Amino acid sequence: MTMLLNEEQTMLRDSAHDFLQAQSPPSLQRKLRDEGADLGFDPALWQQAVELGWTAAVIPEAQGGLGVGFAGLASVFEQMGRSLAALPLLSHVVLGGGLLLAAGDATQQARWLGAVLDGSERFALALDEHSGRHAPQTIDTVARREVGGWVLDGDKWFVADGIGARWLIVAARQVDAAGQDEGLGLFVVERARPGVDLSPLHLADSRNHARLQLRGVRLAEDMRLAQGDAGQALEQVLDRARILLAAETLGLLRQVFESTLAYLKERMQFDVVIGSFQALQHRMARLFTELELLESAVRGAAAAIDQSAADLPFLASLAKARAADLAEKLCNEAIQLHGGIGVTDELDLGLFVKRARVLQHSLGDAHFHRARYAELKGF
C-alpha cells in the first residue's frame, strides 16, 4: 500500500499550507472566539476554500468533482490542524456529501450534490444522542412510517456545524405502522421544517456545535436516503471522517510540538536554555517518535480509503485511537514544559489544547476505538 502523495495531491497540500498560513492563522480563531461568532468560522474564508476546490476534492469526476482522493484531502486537514482553521469541510463534504453518494439515489444526488460542491446550502450530520459518548449503534430517534412519508421524533447532540446548515441528515430507527422496527434510516431534514429546533452548544474549542430536537417532523418519502444499506453506508462514511479527524489532530500536534521545541530552545533558566537539559530532551524525543507513528497510521488509513481496502475499519480505529491518546499526552506535556505561562490565554497553546480535547472525543474517543478494534478482531 503506497502512502506517498501523487503530484496532484502534493499540490493540494502545498496550496492549503500557503493559503491557511496567510488567511487563517490562530489569531483568526481567537477573534472568532472573542466575538462569539455563531457559525464558528469565517464565511468569506469558507467561500475561498470552495473556490480552491476543496469541496470537490473527493467527489467523483462523474459527479462534477475533482476526484483527487482522500489522501490529498487528509493533507488539507493536517494543514487545518496546524493553523487551527475552522471550516465546515468535514460536516458538509465528507459526512453530508459522503452519505449522499453512499446512500442517495440518482435523483437525490442530482438534487443536492451541486450544493455540496458550491458550498451554498450546507449539510450537517445529526447522529449522536444522550449528550454522552459517541455511540452510533444506539439510536433512539424514531422515524414512523405514515401514508406518503415519515414522522420523526427525537433528540440529537453535538451536531458539528449544525448552526447555519440548511440540510440535516438525521439517523433514525425506522418503524412501520404496526410499530415494527425496520432498521436504520437516513433522512434529509430541512432546517426550516415545522417541529425542527436547533440550538447552539458551547464546547471548549468555540466551534459550531448544535443540539437538535425533532418533534413530529413530517417528511415526504423522497427525503429518505434509500440506496443500499443505510447502516453500512453510515459506517463507511464515519470511518472516512474519523481518519480525517486523525489527520487534523496530527497537524495540530505537529504545530504544538514545534512551538514547544522552539520555546525550550529560548527559555533561560540557571543561565542556560532549558532545552539543554537532558531530561527534557528525552521527553521531546519520545513525543517525536510517537508523532512519527501517528503519521504512519494516518497516512496508511487515508491511502486505504482511496484503495477501498478491506481492512479500512481497522485502520480507521487504529488512527483515531492513536490520535486521541497522543493528543492527551502531547498537549499535557506541552503545557508542563511551558510552565506557568502554558495555562494562560496569552499563548496560542491554549487554543490548540482546547481544540485537541474536542478532537479526542469527536466520532469516538480512544476507549471507543480500542473496543471497536477488538470487536472487529473478534475478541
The residues facing 224 across adjacent strands are: 187
Residue pLDDT tens, the chain, 379 long: 556 677 778 888 899 999 999 999 999 999 999 999 989 999 999 999 999 999 999 999 999 999 889 999 999 999 999 999 999 999 999 999 999 999 999 999 999 999 999 998 999 999 999 867 899 989 999 999 999 899 999 999 999 999 999 999 999 999 998 788 899 999 999 999 999 999 999 999 999 999 999 999 999 999 999 888 999 999 999 999 999 999 999 999 999 999 999 999 988 778 888 877 899 899 999 999 999 999 999 999 999 999 999 999 999 999 999 999 999 999 999 999 998 888 888 899 999 999 999 999 999 999 999 999 999 999 8
Residue type, 229: D
State the Cα–Cα distance between residues 134 and 324, nearest whole angstrom.
14
Cell numbers that stand for 305 in this block: 480509503
The residues facing 186 across adjacent strands are: 171, 225
158: region left, alpha or beta (phi > 0 left; psi from -120 to 50 alpha): left
How many Cβ atoms are within 10 Å of 361's Cβ, its own excluded? 17
**Alpha-carbon distances, residue 241 vs 54, 216, 217 (angstroms):** 15, 30, 28
State the Cα–Cα distance between residues 309 and 218, nearest whole angstrom.
39
Residue type, 330: L
